[in-house]
Amino acid sequence: MKHVIDTLYNWFWWENFWMPANCSWADFQDRHDFVAPKPHQLFAIFPYAVAMLGIRFLVERFIAAPLANSFGIKNVERIKPLPHPILERFFKERTKKPSQLEISKLAKKCNWSVHLVEKWFRRRRNLEIPTLYKKFQESCFRHILLHPWRNPQYFAVPRNNQLSFSLQSVLPSQYWYYMLEMSFYLSLLFTLGTDTKRKDFRAHVVHHLAALALMFSSWSANYIRLGTLVMLVHDIADVPLEAAKLFNYARWEKTCSALFVTFAITFFISRFIFFPFCTTVVMAYFVFNGQLLILQALHIYWGYFVFQILKKFIFLKVRGPNFQPNARKAYWPMSLDNGGNCFKTLSVCRLNYEVDLNQKVEF
């Protein structure tokens, strides 16, 4: 068994795969003027991710909650429906919005009135809709964590991202940047079941897994300057996005409008123009580029929705505040009031640029 494990280990870390022709793992031995990254150091992200969950709890409890209260965002308690296994099973396995015929059948089966069954489903659906208070807390935590580190020593322009980078020493700031990013994304995977569920839930899962795989690969092969550049390119657009969401929830419409435009410009420049493309052609190049292409496909997916929101935002500004679009074609199921164009438009924007239909609580 030990022989099999050793064989698999040597096959995975095959030098011809990870290293260019003039490099080997022997070059990664620590010296007096050189500190190399070590893959086993990344095991630390698991306890760091747990610590990140603790930090998130503290931020949401002692920073985001008072901030939400100061903005007038109330922590509304949703009324839970009476526990009923038949209705609960139908809700989870069949549909959340039964037809009138199905409601009548369920009422007979449960020995309830039709009105009680309808009321049960309304309250049960409301539990699925996250409150503004919860979404404000989540965005506040992400906004604090996503501020990129600006250390010029470990960033480089794309044309200078050459092979020599794999022989450069790891800086302490780079180590902590990787630990912060990887533990952050790992903690997001831990809380997928409890966080606000987005329309592009699967895209988020793919994004988090691809980001973790890319960070692991770049750390192991000491392409850290490329890795930090990629992380900066991805993080820089999220900062105005999360800030725009915070002011959107607080109904600061003009501030929200300015931040959304800033986000849209930053998103398209960073994701479609400045995204790194010059790498060293070794066998691992295809692995790295495959992971980068996954992220780029997600950029195009999210960029389409950002463009649609931006187009409607500009279109509504041109038509004026009293213009009311067809509700069947609009992204938001509500009429527009004076000065509310941006707020309704930005209600569409959620984490990582997905489109949210801004569901309304039913009564």
DSSP 60: I
**pLDDT given for residue 274 in this prediction:** 75
- In angstroms, the CA 293 to CA 275 distance is 11
Same domain? 57 vs 181: yes
**pLDDT given for residue 287 in this prediction:** 64
Amino acid at 212: L
Same domain? 98 vs 228: no
Same domain? 314 vs 345: yes
Tokens standing for residue 270: 């960073």
Same domain? 165 vs 112: no
**pLDDT given for residue 346 in this prediction:** 40
Tokens standing for residue 170: 């790891």
What Cα–Cα distance (Å) separates residue 89 from each residue in 98, 103, 106, 113?
Answer: 12, 14, 11, 19
113 is in which domain, residue-wise?
Answer: 85-128
CA dihedral over 250, 251, 253, 254, signed as positive or negative: negative
If one counts the domains in the chain, the total is: 2
**φ/ψ of residue 232, rounded to 5:** -65, -45
- In angstroms, the CA 256 to CA 73 distance is 16
Please check whether residue 97 lies inside any domain of the structure: yes
Same domain? 99 vs 206: no
Same domain? 320 vs 231: yes
The Cα angle at residue 332 between residues 72 and 253, in degrees rounded to 5: 40
Q: What is the mean pLDDT of each run of 10 residues along the chain (363 residues)?
A: 70 64 68 81 94 94 93 87 91 90 92 93 88 91 73 45 59 90 93 80 87 88 82 87 93 92 90 62 58 79 82 66 42 35 39 38 42
E strand or H helix that includes residue 308: helix 283-319
pTM for the structure as a whole: 0.68
- In angstroms, the CA 267 to CA 75 distance is 32
